[in-house]
Each structure stands twice: as structure tokens, then as C-alpha cells.
Amino acid sequence: MREKWRGDFMRGHAQKLENEPLKGKGKKIPEHVLQGDVLDRTIQHSGFKPVWVKLQRQIHQAIKDALKSNDVSPQRIVEINEMIRDYNRKCPPPMQRGLVSKDTLKTKLQLWE
């Protein structure tokens, strides 16, 4: 009995869909819909920013603050490098960056902008 009810429901629903005209049937699909990846486009339009973009800004600010306050202690370098390691784990491989040292801090600041 249960199977018959389910089958009747499905047939009735299929007939209903056949009789309804589809919205947009026969119209051309806009060109922008066919270009690029749907998921990427949806994410961009929603304003979503990946976690690693936020980390990138934080690292830039941390390097800038260290240089500004002349706090280039080994402890500060270790903290910044930990942030960079976290960033490298979360970002795409082509976006990964090297660690900083006391000597390379000024040049690396430009890379993190």
C-alpha cells in the first residue's frame, strides 16, 4: 500500500511539471553565466574573504608595528614567523611566503602589503 501511494504521488507530480511551462524556456543563457567557475563567482559576489587574507593583513601589521617600535627582538620574530606558518597552512600553495629574520624584516614588509 505504501509503495503504491509513493508511486501515485510521483506520477502526479511528474504530470504537473510537464504541464507547467518553465520560466525562461527557449531564452539564451547570458554570457557572464557561462564564464568562470560558479562557486568562485558566488563567493566573490557575497563578499566572502578567505581566512588567509585576514592573516595576511595581520602579518603585515605585525611587521609594520615591530619596525615602527624598533622591537626586533628574537621573541617578536618568532611570533611573526608563527603567524606566517599559520598563513602558509591556510593559503593556496602559490601564495605561500617565506619566514622573516631580523635582517629581512624591512624587505619582507613590502611582500606582505
Confidence of residue 15 (pLDDT cuts 50, 70, 90): confident
Please count the helices (runs of H) and the strands (runs of E) in the chain.
6, 0
Per residue in 25-72, pLDDT (tens digit) is 778 888 877 777 777 777 777 888 889 889 999 999 999 999 998 878
Kindly report the number of other CB atoms within 10 A of residue 84's CB atom.
Answer: 22
For 4-17, give the DSSP string.
Answer: HHHHHHHHHHHHHH
Query: What per-residue confidence (pLDDT) applies to 11?
Result: 80
**pTM to 2 decimal places:** 0.63
